[in-house]
Amino acid sequence: MQTGMFDKRDRFLRLLGTKPIIMGIVNVTPDSFSDGGRFNSLDSAKAQALKLVSEGADIIDIGAESTRPGHTPVPESEELARLDPVLGGLLQAVEAPVSIDTSKAAVARHAISLGVCIVNDVWGLQRDPAMADTVAEGGAAIVIMHNRNDVDEKADIVDDMRRFFDRSLELAQKAGIPRHFIMLDPGVGFGKTKQQNLEAISGMTRLRDYQLPFLVGLSRKSLLGSLLGDDPEIKLIGTLAANLAAAAHGASIFRVHDAAQHVAAFKVFDAIERA
């Protein structure tokens, strides 16, 4: 365990609820939909992380397996092999807390041992049976994301989210993960139709009784392309609009590729909300 991991975790947790939180994305993957192959080396990943922090990102999220629609799953050994050249050096270079985007307990355990303080699990502790205990034993915080194996266009997606979160929170409690270490994510783009993705964003309002922070990952998603087209500038505008709408429905953490633009947008949003 790296010295300062718990300090970074606690500093991040204390920040929740005080302002919109920007989570900057660094993918060390060859096939991520937006930036695959761009940050696979230590120098490029470190430069991107430092750029995001300088632009106002509060936390860096690093991932070594693409979870885009139609992605090819990679084995644990490959995910670790992608992380190893990058993660240790990035953690040394960046003062901000770092989270690991993985659903594999072994990858999470390795990342926590190096100093990562949050696990961002797209299967919400439900894919790898060892994940909840790994997070608890490592003292990390956890993002529990809603996911589905199959799309069911007839499902009430918010009811489905509630059932999923209830199961994940039960697993977290049994493992001993403190409640205040937990964040929820509606999982936009995962196992949902276009309409259900929109309902998942607005439906966070119906889930406020959990009294837990919500993270959303909407940046450059295909949902926005289906609404606006794939022009990068227009997609950025759509991302900003979607994240502001998500904030209005209860989200407080925003996983993004473009930190500076979101910091500016939320400065205005937050000023209006506090007026």
| Residue 27 β-bridge partners | 63
Enclosing H/E stretch for 26: strand 21-27
| Residue 216 β-bridge partners | 254
Contact 61, 99 (CB under 8 A): yes
C-alpha dihedral, 216 to 222 to 226 to 227, nearest 10°: 30
Contact 25, 257 (CB under 8 A): yes
Q: CA 189, CA 255: separation in Å to the nearest integer?
A: 13
The Cβ of residue 247 has, within 10 Å, a number of other Cβ atoms equal to 21
Active site amino acids = 221, 255
The Cβ of residue 162 has, within 10 Å, a number of other Cβ atoms equal to 17
Phi-psi region of 101 (alpha: psi -120 to 50; beta: other; left: phi over 0): beta
